[in-house]
């Protein structure tokens, strides 16, 4: 009898219940999409943060820096340790050697020797007019910052001669770099070219690394690497690491606040629908009570109706949230956000709670007096 009455109630009020179901499904879809975004935010955002450049730097210790009158340098053997310790969390690792050379017309120019393929991974926001040097064996070409290229009147395909002490090298300009920073005043070559020009074979100025993860993960990685490189300074760039952590925390708080707001709005929609149903069902409740039905059974009947709406709305909304999270991921991060299996029961449970909270007006039916209803008042 209970289930038959429940079915009749669902059929009789299908119009209003459909409104509540749509509200629950819409709220569930947005909530599940945001929860998926919350769970996947760290992995997606840390990948996007890597466009900011290096966040860990390896440099010579101060004691070693004072050992020679020139700039502080370290042995290139450190690269073998860096490569050996490289894991999936290291997006790029680029060694650098900076020297000040003279161009063909005598102008001074900062020359940065590096692994240009790794520089490209680390500095994805750079734009290059011409070709990028993607091979470390390309020792005959260079990249020039746009400011230096304008000063020296260089374009892709031009030739430039660099001199340092008694050594010189002639290079072809592969491309002009627009980095938006001090790099626009520099010339970039593969590391062996700078080492040969400066007569510093096997020496480095520093190593820059781009490491994914939270600020705590980056700190832990830097400590592990420092233990493997005694005598060198391994330090995270705290401004970038802390900015990443703060931004990630704020985005999570924003997602949490948005989900709470959506749940409140959904509950209000269900509340309005259930309030209207409560007014419509006064006569039904009065008749049930007149026939001997207890108020507890009547309330359980209506709560079961709300629970079915919540479960059904949560399931339908979760399906919509899968597509919505994919659309959000492609629009924000360029790749779909993966749907987590644990989001389904969480979404259903949230909508179940919202539906029950929205069914509170049904408690007013307990005040219905059968005698008044039967008299038609």
CATH of the domain at 200: 2.40.40.20
Assess whether 185 and 266 both reside in one domain. no
Assess whether 209 and 265 both reside in one domain. no
Angle, nearest 10°, between helix axes 343-358 and 238-280? 40
Assess whether 109 and 6 both reside in one domain. no
Show the 3-state SS of 195-221: HHHHCCCCEECEEEEEECCCHHHHHHH
What's the pLDDT tens digit per position in 284-308?
Answer: 666 665 655 555 666 677 777 777 8
Give the whole-angstrom CA distance, residue 39 versus residue 115.
35
Assess whether 250 and 319 both reside in one domain. yes
Higher per-residue pLDDT: 214 or 120: 120
Assess whether 113 and 15 both reside in one domain. no
Q: Which one of 236, 264, 284 terminates a domain?
A: 236
Structural domains in the chain (count)? 2
Q: Which residues contact 82 (CB under 8 A, 6 or more apart)?
A: 58, 93, 207, 209, 225
CB 266 within 8 A of CB 29: no
65 pLDDT more than 50: no
pTM as predicted = 0.60
Q: Above pLDDT 70, what percent of the chain?
A: 73
Assess whether 39 and 60 both reside in one domain. no
Q: Which one of 236, 271, 295 terminates a domain?
A: 236
Assess whether 226 and 294 both reside in one domain. no
Flag whether 241 is in a domain. no
Assess whether 220 and 119 both reside in one domain. yes
Q: Which one of 236, 270, 297 terminates a domain?
A: 236
Assess whether 64 and 37 both reside in one domain. no
Looking at every residue in the chain, the average pLDDT score rounds to 79
What's the pLDDT tens digit per position in 151-194?
Answer: 999 999 999 999 998 899 999 999 999 988 889 999 999 999 99
Assess whether 68 and 13 both reside in one domain. no
Assess whether 142 and 67 both reside in one domain. yes
Flag whether 89 is in a domain. yes
Flag whether 319 is in a domain. yes
Assess whether 230 and 359 both reside in one domain. no
Structure tokens that stand for 224 in this block:
């592990």
Range of the domain at 111: 55-236
């Amino acid at each position: 009898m209970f289930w038959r009455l429940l079915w009749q109630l669902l059929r009789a009020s299908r119009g209003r219940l459909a409104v509540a179901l749509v509200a629950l499904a819409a709220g569930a879809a947005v909530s599940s999409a945001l929860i998926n975004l919350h769970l996947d935010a760290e992995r997606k955002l840390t990948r996007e943060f890597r466009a900011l450049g290096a966040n860990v730097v390896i440099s010579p210790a101060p004691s070693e820096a004072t050992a020679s009158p020139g700039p502080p340098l370290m042995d290139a053997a450190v690269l073998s340790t860096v490569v050996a310790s490289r894991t999936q969390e290291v997006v790029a690792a680029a060694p650098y050697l900076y020297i000040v050379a003279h161009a063909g017309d005598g102008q001074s120019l900062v020359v940065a020797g590096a692994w240009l393929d790794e520089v490209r991974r680390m500095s994805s926001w750079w734009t290059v007019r011409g070709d990028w040097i993607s091979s470390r064996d390309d020792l005959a070409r260079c990249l020039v910052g746009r400011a230096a290229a304008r000063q020296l009147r260089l374009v892709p395909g031009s030739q430039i001669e660099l001199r340092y002490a008694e050594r010189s090298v002639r290079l072809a300009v592969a491309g002009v770099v627009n980095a938006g920073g001090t790099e626009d005043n520099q010339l970039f070559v593969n590391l062996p070219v700078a080492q040969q020009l400066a007569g510093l074979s096997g020496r480095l100025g520093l190593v820059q690394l781009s490491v994914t993860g939270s600020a705590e993960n980056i700190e832990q990685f830097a400590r592990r690497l420092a233990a493997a490189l005694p005598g060198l300074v391994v330090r995270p760039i705290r401004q970038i690491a802390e900015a990443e952590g703060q931004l990630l925390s704020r985005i999570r708080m924003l997602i949490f606040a948005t989900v709470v707001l959506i749940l409140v709005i959904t509950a209000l929609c269900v509340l309005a629908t259930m309030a209207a149903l409560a007014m419509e069902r006064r006569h039904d409740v009065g008749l049930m009570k007149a026939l001997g039905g207890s108020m507890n059974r009547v309330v359980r009947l209506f709560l079961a109706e709300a629970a079915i709406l919540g479960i059904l709305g949560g399931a339908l909304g979760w399906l919509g949230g899968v597509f919505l999270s994919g659309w959000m991921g492609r629009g924000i991060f360029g790749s779909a956000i993966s749907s987590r299996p644990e989001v389904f029961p969480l979404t259903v449970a949230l909508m179940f709670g919202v539906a029950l909270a929205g069914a509170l007006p049904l408690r007013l039916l307990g005040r219905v007096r059968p005698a008044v209803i039967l008299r038609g008042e």
